[in-house]
């Protein structure tokens, strides 16, 4: 690499890898933006020309699917691509819901035991949804005022996670048609036609938004993010139980759906962790210095 007639050709390429799925959608891809190679050379009077590095023909990189419609398609077809780990998580969620169902009656009794027979409960649907909506609104407002693109992306992930999980929750409500604790004292009233308590929509939305809050951003305030994010889900679920609007297992099912959907959305919207590498590749007439950077 020394002496007349040798050159150092510097080429820089930036690859952006986009992660996908919750580990559930099974898709992935990368996109590359390559800056055309530039070269600097030292020559003397005897040099007439310098050979250029010869690069093998390579297929154009495939762009990963993106956009809301793609996310919707991948979300609702995700079980078709689940691996053993995903099915293990699904099985664990079912076990947790089953364990919660075992305590449905006890939890209901704890909250209604001080009320007289025939007492009419106010489910406070709007009141119990306000904290979740407020978190999304505050996240978006702060990001907009501060000009923080990462914050706007986080708010967008919250909205998408809440929307996708809400569709799932309402579909299950009308398929399972479980009667709520304000309609019956029997937690096993399933497929009754007019029931719509399983799973809890409020718990689903709260855990969807809360999980994005908890797991987004850098790790500097991770403990605080998780306290606020998961706390939002827990407090919302508690309020639904206190207002006799849901069984305990309804809220646990909502937590599972909301948390899983949030993870799916974050993997779809957020790129992989930053990685970089520097390498020198010999080429005809010199060497190529290549720098690879995976952007967050």
pLDDT, one tens digit per residue, over 123-161 is 889 999 999 999 999 999 999 999 999 999 999 999 999
Average pLDDT, the chain: 80
Q: What length is written for the chain?
A: 296
Provide mean pLDDT across the span 257-284: 73
Domain assignment of residue 189, yes or no: yes
Q: Which of 53-67, 109-123, 231-245 has the highest mean pLDDT?
A: 231-245
Q: What is the CA radius of gyration of the chain?
A: 27
Domain assignment of residue 96, yes or no: no
Domain assignment of residue 285, yes or no: no
Least Cα distance to 240 among 269, 198, 212 occurs for 198
Domain assignment of residue 166, yes or no: yes
Whether pLDDT at 4 is above 50: no
Provide mean pLDDT across the span 185-198: 92
Provide mean pLDDT across the span 250-269: 96
pTM, two decimals, is 0.71
pLDDT, one tens digit per residue, over 68-77 is 899 999 999 9
Whether pLDDT at 270 is above 50: yes
Domain assignment of residue 228, yes or no: yes
Residue 173's domain spans which residues? 119-267
Predicted pLDDT of residue 218: 85
Domain assignment of residue 95, yes or no: no
Hey, CA dihedral for 109, 112, 115, 118, is it positive or negative? negative
Domain assignment of residue 252, yes or no: yes
Whether pLDDT at 291 is above 70: no
Predicted pLDDT of residue 43: 43
Domain assignment of residue 273, yes or no: no
In the chain, the number of structural domains is 1
Distance CA 222, CA 130 (A): 24
* Those residues with Cβ within 8 angstroms of residue 25's Cβ, 6 or more apart along the chain or in another chain: 74, 75, 77, 78, 81, 264, 267, 268
Tell me the Ramachandran region of residue 124: left when phi exceeds 0, alpha when psi lies from -120 to 50, beta otherwise: left
pLDDT, one tens digit per residue, over 79-99 is 999 999 999 999 999 999 999
């Amino acid at each position: 690499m020394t002496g007349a007639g040798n050159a150092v050709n510097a080429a820089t390429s930036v690859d952006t890898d986009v992660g996908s799925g919750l580990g559930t959608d099974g898709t992935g891809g990368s996109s590359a933006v390559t800056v055309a190679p530039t070269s600097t050379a030292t020559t003397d009077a005897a040099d007439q020309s310098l050979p250029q590095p010869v690069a093998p023909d390579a297929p154009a990189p495939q762009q990963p699917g993106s956009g809301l419609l793609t996310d919707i398609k991948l979300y609702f077809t995700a079980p078709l691509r689940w691996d053993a780990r995903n099915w293990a998580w699904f099985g664990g969620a079912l076990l947790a819901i089953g364990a919660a169902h075992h305590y449905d009656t006890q939890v209901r009794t704890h909250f209604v035991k001080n009320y007289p027979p025939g007492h009419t409960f106010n489910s406070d649907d709007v009141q119990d949804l306000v904290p979740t909506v407020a978190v999304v609104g505050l996240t978006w407002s702060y990001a907009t005022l501060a000009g923080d693109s990462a914050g706007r992306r986080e708010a967008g992930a919250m909205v998408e996670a809440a929307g996708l999980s809400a569709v799932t929750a309402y579909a299950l409500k009308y398929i399972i048609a479980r009667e709520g604790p304000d309609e019956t004292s029997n937690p096993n009233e399933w497929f009754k036609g007019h029931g719509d308590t399983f799973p809890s929509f409020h718990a689903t939305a709260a855990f969807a938004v809360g999980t994005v809050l908890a797991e987004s951003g850098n790790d500097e305030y991770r403990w605080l993010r998780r306290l606020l994010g998961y706390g939002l889900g827990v407090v919302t679920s508690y309020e639904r139980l206190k207002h006799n609007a849901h069984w305990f297992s309804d809220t646990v099912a909502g937590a599972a759906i909301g948390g899983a959907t949030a993870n799916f959305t974050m993997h779809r919207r957020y790129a992989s962790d930053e990685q970089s590498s520097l390498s020198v590749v010999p080429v005809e007439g010199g060497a190529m210095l290549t720098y690879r950077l995976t952007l967050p």
